[in-house]
Structure 1
Amino acid sequence: MSLAGREREQLAALAGSTGGAVQLAGVGRTALLSTLLPALSVVCVAAEQHMPYAALHQVLLPLLGELSALPAPRRAALEAAFGLADGTTSPRLAGLAALDLLAGRGVVVVEDAQWLDRESREVLGFVARRLAGSGAVLVVAADVPVLDGVPALCSADDLLDAAERAAAAGRPAEVERILDRLRGRELTVRQRALATWLPTSFDDGVGQGAGPAELIGLAEAVVADGDTGLGLRIFWSVAMRCFWTEPGPAVRERIMAVARSLALDPRDPHVLAMTAYVAPIEQGDAVIAGLRAALDPDGGAGADSFVPGDDPATARLLGSAALQVGAFAESVRFSAAAQRGFRATGQLGLLTRALAVEAWSRTRLGDLANAEPAAAEALRLAEQTRQPYMRGLAAAVQAEIAALRGDHAAAAEHAALAERVGLAAGARPVLATVQLARALAALGEGRHADAFAAVRRVHDPADPAYQLALRRYVLPELVEAAVRSGHADEAAKLVEGLDGATTSPALAGGLRYARALLAGDEDAESLFTAALDAETTGWHRARVQLAFGAWLRRRRRAAHARPHLKAAAEAFEAFGTAAWAQRAREELRASGETRGGTGELTEHELTIARLAADGLTNREIGERMHLSHRTVSTHLHRIFPKLGVTARAELGPALAGHPR
């Protein structure tokens, strides 16, 4: 609703009075200004908003010839403010001087006052509150009211529009200042909902304003009132809170119930992301199906059928949704595509978020070479764009990367920074990743009980590090630490609570690994084999091979263990995780293999072993090598313990992977 009618009458009455001040804000202010005949009129400009007293100088410039008539202290204050003399300026004395100069001047108009410099705003506010009976009327026009304690003619919708613009620009203090002017007004359902929700739109609402339950009620009310668009915006912000904080199952179910009542398109990126944040377990498979449909909408058009870079906002939403449901490869693809668009348009705040999601997902995939620069850039941009929770998340990812690389001092430093940020507002993903990093560092140092205590916190609903979605993707660390620290039974119960059919790549892989580690001797081998046969990432496969190889070695099956341990060591070295490669190499040496060869066999013994592995008898080997069959038997008697085998049938696996 624009300024008209009653407001026009009020302005005319003020202009004809003996003095006073008013602010005009909103879409109708230009029309109202056209009805005035000002004695003085100035227009503020953005280029001077950081120049002290620039706007005041514009207003008083025609009157500076009268400075000599002012009392000395007041004159000195203005002269110092305008650079006409040395000295300091008192805003109070400058205001009194301005009052003296403006007295009896009639109507004075200041347009585009949203660009007032801070010092001029203070002085003009001081003047405006003291103009009664002065013969001067100050009219200040701006997008929103800018002077405290000065009457304003503007509608609630105008104020809310201005507050939305301030929120979009990332200025929370300005949003609060604008909304303060709504206090005491009678508002519609939509206006009340918007005024309540806007202050929570910063930092995903963590630690700010109305709680999730209140916001859901507002969203329901505005949807019932016919504004589905605003309702969805509020729903989305509540869903985001489900990532950073834990509202509880009742609130989560209420969000989903309202979403179902709206008959939303389940393929819409906003709906997919909201569902992933709110119900990552119950609706995880549906979200993954939606992500795959987005990548291949024609059901076979190929992986390049979706070009997310054309719509970076949509790509970011899908990347974030993919992270929630453990589809880390898809998360990387969407997030990387979103970054190209955000860089092109200079949207640094959203670029920060896409980088953080990419870094988190790449780290879980073992792609540390690309995760590291993404996390570093996310941290730098989060500081520049004042996004503390993204800064905490980026630092936590850096801690995880350092722990995987074996740089435990750096891991501890990054984790401490991230924890300070996370604890300040209870940002659960930050704290969960911190505990994961600490668990990885403890595992690398052989502190298995400490590792279990750290990662166990991510699974405890009463702990601030608990995070409903992310807890499902740290099962390998949980179970490995539990098995080595005497907590296997407790870990088994946690795994049982997460077990079940799932299309989540990360959860499915973690469950296979966990089942194999927790299984008894009669089932472990088949479960390890199933985990290796399943489609998975290179990083996860290397972890399974290390665990399987160690399991085989401890059961005196060194020949079968070596191929797995060697493959794991080589993979970990390729990933840049030296500490993990060292663990694999230690297991490999314990199995009887040195880094440079096959056991400690001489070339002569190696030839005999290969012939025996090919199925030749001792007599046949002797004939080929011009040895007696008894000499061949003696050689094999020495070869078997070197290779860790007890039968000829085991020679083949023991020699696998070595060129002839």
Structure 2
Amino acid sequence: MESIIGTMVGREREQETLSAFVAASGGRALVLRGDTGVGKSALLDHVAELATGEQHRVIRAAGVEAESELPFAGLHQFLYPLLSYLDRLDEVHRRVFDVVFARSEGTPPSVMTLGIAVLDLLSLAASQKPLLLVLDDGQWLDASSTEVCGFVGRRLTGSSVKLIVGLRAAVRSGFDTAALPELPVTTLSEKASEQLLDMRYPGLDPQIRRLVLDEAQGNPLALLELPPHVRGGRAGRDPEQLPGYTGIPLPQRLQHVYGARIETLDDAVRAELLRGALDGVGAGTAPGRPGGTRYRMLDADEAAACGLLGIDPLNGDFVFRHPLVRSTVVQMATPNERRAAHAVLAQVHREDLERRAMHLAASTVDPDEQVAAVLEAAADSATRRGGAVAAVAWLTRAAELSESHEERSRRFGSAAFIAGHAGQLDRAQRLVGSDTAFGQGHSPASVVASAYVALYEDGDVRSSQRQVLGAIESMRAAGVREPDEMLTRLVNLLLAINQYASDETSWVRTHELFGSLGDLVPFMSRIYQDAWGDVVRRGAGVGERVERAFAGLRDLEPWDVTRLCTTAYHVDTLSQYRPHLQRTVDREVETGAASVGMTMLHLIMLDQMAVGEWDEAERTGQRCLELTTSHRNALFAHHTRAYLGLLAAMRGQVERARELQAAVDAWARPRGVGFLTQIADAIGTTAALSEGDYEAAYLHAIGITPPGTFTPYAHQASRTLLDLVEAALHTGRAEQARAHALAAQEADLPEISPRLALITYGALAMTATDPAEADAMYDRAENHPAAAVFPFEHARIRLAHGIRLRHTQGRKAARLSLTLATETFERLGAPTWSERARAELRATGAATLASSAHIAALTWQERRIADLAAGGLTNKEIGERMHLSPRTVSSHLYRVFPKLGITSRAALRDALGKIPGEQSV
């Protein structure tokens, strides 16, 4: 981008290196690695110009994300212009290329075999004229092509072939382990940045010029793209006060710039851009793969006029000016818009089997045998050409879209067969465990492995459940009489599967089976059995049993800690065990059991949500989502999205919540993952309550459980008690609301968990017709020891109480409850709830928020710990000073935060300073 005006600016070091690269005798490879927009493409253009001037033949290719699953799509770009040399190769190498280019059938070549054939072809092509291969956006190259390019790049010495690759620093790629020499492409110096900006935008307003320089931080793309955006958005304001810049990563800011332009386009033009982006229309002039051309964007002059598109000088087609434009177009589209675009592209490429299959797979949601057949045919084609990775993926997708069990089983079997032959043993085992036709007669260890992978990586609760049940029953029939480690693993895995399935029939069968096993089921597994299934009917006393189990913590493995903390979550005592998780999670994520680390992050996030640390919960959730997606753990990824959706709904981010809800539900419901579909329904309930759409909230809530009862083995049935009651009351269903509150009381929910006690008393108070009962129940709820630990529910109960007081005892009586509720909603970051509370407060005649002046008293020890923490000391340092363990310090701080009405350590000093008559040390 530095050379957009014809002159390279600030790249003397890189130009010198590239000149030496081109001038050097013999073949070699080089990787340019840098951030988005830093100028890698401009440098690749420069090296291509240098090579052309030195009479090299230049062949260019570009990796595009939309083609990253098409086997050899990138390699085709390099080799297609050289097909005329194939006839001059020996017969062995010709056969290799015939298979790869689908010109004949044969045994797929290995990477080494294909790599040697490519080296032979390149050497032949370079015998008349030196050859330079230029690859931009190599991080998006398909895996098959990346392996071959890496193999070739390490073996160019002695040839007349050079390879140069541009990689985006923040994106992982197969080139990361290719061991090719690298040239880092850094940002421009301050002087060069000023020079580039002044050349492109002479006479720029000094204030805007300074703002652009500060925001761009030497990124050439930002220097070229930000000025019109800032100038256009100034509207008479001081540029330093322009929103949306400080603290936002530069690529996101650039996406905002492109996004603002995209939003101005006509719907038809946006749809055209989306089709081009999804079909891999490049940022430059990279040719399409043989056998089919890329989509041609038409009638897109409006997009070109606003700087989103350029014109390919070779064929006059529209191309995206930068890969970031392409990705922004895709990110801004809705799932339905993307599916519609894929459907159009599938028709466009109806003669190109693999491209058609790729787009059909992305456009189809429900089972469709015709689509499954196309995917299977594409997998066969990929297999013949050595594209095993793509073949396994397409066969798996074909199995998912199969309409009959027989076809599903057959296709999963084919996928497993190919994965095994490709050396993907874990993937093969995962595929074998994902269908009931496989795994029968295997050893218990094999069943544990295959069912575990089937559950956590594919979300297949049905087949994994049957496999494990069968294995346990086989062990019982075989006469197991003593506690057995393998039996324990099967038992705990079955409990985990049942938790995700949330199916009453399966749980009943499990209880019967475990009953017949007697003491062969360990006591800790019995705890999980009671908490993970139906906590309403089996959860009494579980909290105490978890506490006793944690007393032997030193003897527990990390997965035992995780299971016990999961149990603590079900009975709402997780906060007291969170330090165990936080001490362990990084170790497990980095060097231990990654899946255990993922569950630990889930649990930490859940507790952060419960106690009101919502910003921290968002960060934990995003970290977990990155981890789960990088490990391709589909179940945990959607589990994380479910919690992120619930958090977004609580915060009033309704659009995001519903998008996540739809994604989770679409994945989980066909698989029968009831645990996640219930959370999806809870997201819908909470989002509707945030909006004040009580009818929708009620309909979502009764999808979890009918009023007046708690559906067995539905973990969200009791957790959404307050939601259903509120929604029913606001829609005139007072009788149903009261029945549900009484059902909670009759089920002894307050005896199961502190949170259930809080919301049961709140529900009884809200639905009481007797004023004395209402007052008593509000008092029990608002003064419950757990009230401060669950601030969101506490604030909702206070809001309801304040509304009732205003109607029954007058405006003045309601002000304190409404003030406290409003303050809590404000602190949590729940704007729709805080506005509702503010509106009620205004109705009492209060012009502004009154200060609560109600800070719970701290003990001397709590105050001393709080003072030291506010002064910046760590828990360990505080413990050393006060002769306490760090764990004791942490426990004290957990009690201090709700008393002070805060959720983070950073807020301690301000909160302590508000206590009358005292000064923080």
TM-score normalised by the chain length of structure 2: 0.43
CA contact 2:601–2:621 (8 Å) conserved in 1: yes
- Alignment partners' CA distance in 2, 1:170 and 1:275: 36
Task: Tell me, yes or no, if structure 1 residue 517 matches structure 2 residue 766.
Answer: yes
> Superposed, which structure 2 residues align to 1:535-554 within 5 Å?
535-538=785-788, 539=791, 540-554=793-807
- Alignment partners' CA distance in 1, 2:778 and 2:721: 15
Match of 2:848 among 591, 595, 617: 595
Match of 1:527 among 755, 773, 777: 777
> Superposed, which structure 2 residues align to 1:342-361 within 5 Å?
342-361=588-607
Q: Say which SS state the counterpart of residue 121 (structure 2) adopts.
A: coil
Task: Tell me, yes or no, if structure 1 residue 204 matches structure 2 residue 204.
Answer: no
Task: Tell me, yes or no, if structure 1 residue 82 matches structure 2 residue 116.
Answer: yes
- Alignment partners' CA distance in 2, 1:454 and 1:362: 25
- 2:489 aligns with 233
Residue 449 of structure 1, CA deviation: 0.8
CA contact 1:320–1:331 (8 Å) conserved in 2: no
Residue 529 of structure 1, CA deviation: 1.0
TM-score normalised by the chain length of structure 1: 0.59
Greater mean alpha carbon deviation, residues 409-418 or residues 374-383: 409-418
- 1:439 aligns with 685
- 1:387 aligns with 633
> Per-residue CA shift, 1:282-325, capped at 9, x if unaligned?
3313321122224456xxxxxxxx579x8432221111111223
Equivalent position amino acid for 1:509 in 2: L
- Alignment partners' CA distance in 1, 2:641 and 2:438: 40
Task: Tell me, yes or no, if structure 1 residue 407 matches structure 2 residue 653.
Answer: yes
- Alignment partners' CA distance in 1, 2:654 and 2:508: 37
- Alignment partners' CA distance in 1, 2:713 and 2:433: 35
Q: Say which SS state the counterpart of residue 537 (structure 2) adopts.
A: coil
- Alignment partners' CA distance in 1, 2:507 and 2:834: 45
- 2:344 aligns with none
Task: Tell me, yes or no, if structure 1 residue 448 matches structure 2 residue 704.
Answer: no
Q: Say which SS state the counterpart of residue 535 (structure 2) adopts.
A: coil
Match of 1:73 among 91, 94, 98: 91
- Alignment partners' CA distance in 1, 2:560 and 2:425: 21
> Superposed, which structure 2 residues align to 1:84-483 within 5 Å?
85-86=120-121, 171-174=426-429, 191-196=442-447, 198-204=449-455, 206-207=459-460, 210=463, 212=465, 215-223=468-476, 224-226=478-480, 228-249=484-505, 251-252=507-508, 254-255=510-511, 258=514, 261-263=517-519, 268=524, 270-296=525-551, 311-330=557-576, 332-459=578-705, 468-483=714-729
- Alignment partners' CA distance in 1, 2:700 and 2:433: 45
Tell me: CA distance 1:485–1:378, structure 2 relative to 1, closer, same or farther (3 Å). same
Greater mean alpha carbon deviation, residues 387-396 or residues 346-355: 346-355
- 1:30 aligns with none
Tell me: CA distance 1:325–1:203, structure 2 relative to 1, closer, same or farther (3 Å). farther
CA contact 2:434–2:451 (8 Å) conserved in 1: no
- Alignment partners' CA distance in 2, 1:498 and 1:175: 42
Tell me: CA distance 1:460–1:392, structure 2 relative to 1, closer, same or farther (3 Å). farther
Q: Say which SS state the counterpart of residue 519 (structure 2) adopts.
A: coil
- 1:508 aligns with 757
Q: Say which SS state the counterpart of residue 82 (structure 1) adopts.
A: helix
- Alignment partners' CA distance in 1, 2:445 and 2:639: 29
Alignment root-mean-square deviation, CA: 4.0
Residue 534 of structure 1, CA deviation: 1.6
Residue 348 of structure 1, CA deviation: 2.8
CA contact 2:500–2:673 (8 Å) conserved in 1: yes
- Alignment partners' CA distance in 2, 1:494 and 1:260: 35
Residue 579 of structure 1, CA deviation: 2.0
- 1:639 aligns with none
CA contact 1:352–1:378 (8 Å) conserved in 2: yes
- 1:607 aligns with none
Residue 491 of structure 1, CA deviation: 3.4
Task: Give the gaps of 5 or more residues in structure 2.
Answer: 1-70, 72-88, 97-112, 124-382, 387-419, 852-913
Residue 595 of structure 1, CA deviation: 0.8
Equivalent position amino acid for 2:545 in 1: G
- Alignment partners' CA distance in 1, 2:714 and 2:438: 38
Equivalent position amino acid for 1:246 in 2: S
Tell me: CA distance 1:504–1:194, structure 2 relative to 1, closer, same or farther (3 Å). same
Equivalent position amino acid for 1:504 in 2: S
* Higher Rg: 1
Tell me: CA distance 1:481–1:366, structure 2 relative to 1, closer, same or farther (3 Å). farther
> Per-residue CA shift, 1:353-385, capped at 9, x if unaligned?
221232234323333122111111121112111
Tell me: CA distance 1:276–1:208, structure 2 relative to 1, closer, same or farther (3 Å). closer
CA contact 1:220–1:231 (8 Å) conserved in 2: no
Residue 407 of structure 1, CA deviation: 2.1
Equivalent position amino acid for 2:92 in 1: R
Tell me: CA distance 1:312–1:230, structure 2 relative to 1, closer, same or farther (3 Å). closer
Equivalent position amino acid for 1:377 in 2: R
- Alignment partners' CA distance in 1, 2:849 and 2:743: 45
CA contact 1:458–1:471 (8 Å) conserved in 2: yes
Match of 2:810 among 557, 566, 577: 557
Q: Say which SS state the counterpart of residue 526 (structure 1) adopts.
A: helix
- Alignment partners' CA distance in 2, 1:284 and 1:561: 36
Tell me: CA distance 1:203–1:265, structure 2 relative to 1, closer, same or farther (3 Å). closer
Match of 1:580 among 826, 833, 852: 833
> Per-residue CA shift, 1:417-456, capped at 9, x if unaligned?
2222222423222222222222222222221111111122
Greater mean alpha carbon deviation, residues 342-351 or residues 540-549: 342-351
CA contact 1:432–1:467 (8 Å) conserved in 2: no
CA contact 2:434–2:460 (8 Å) conserved in 1: no
Tell me: CA distance 1:203–1:476, structure 2 relative to 1, closer, same or farther (3 Å). farther
- Alignment partners' CA distance in 1, 2:530 and 2:443: 26
> Per-residue CA shift, 1:42-91, capped at 9, x if unaligned?
xxxxxxxxxx9xxxxxxxxxxxxxxxxxx952375588653562289xxx
- Alignment partners' CA distance in 2, 1:74 and 1:568: 78
Task: Give the gaps of 5 or more residues in structure 1.
Answer: 1-51, 53-70, 89-121, 126-164, 298-305, 599-656
CA contact 1:219–1:234 (8 Å) conserved in 2: yes
Residue 412 of structure 1, CA deviation: 2.1
> Per-residue CA shift, 1:253-285, capped at 9, x if unaligned?
6436525733258653x4433442234233313
CA contact 2:430–2:453 (8 Å) conserved in 1: no
Equivalent position amino acid for 2:479 in 1: D
Equivalent position amino acid for 2:804 in 1: W
> Per-residue CA shift, 1:456-487, capped at 9, x if unaligned?
211159xxx99622221111111111111122
Tell me: CA distance 1:170–1:553, structure 2 relative to 1, closer, same or farther (3 Å). farther
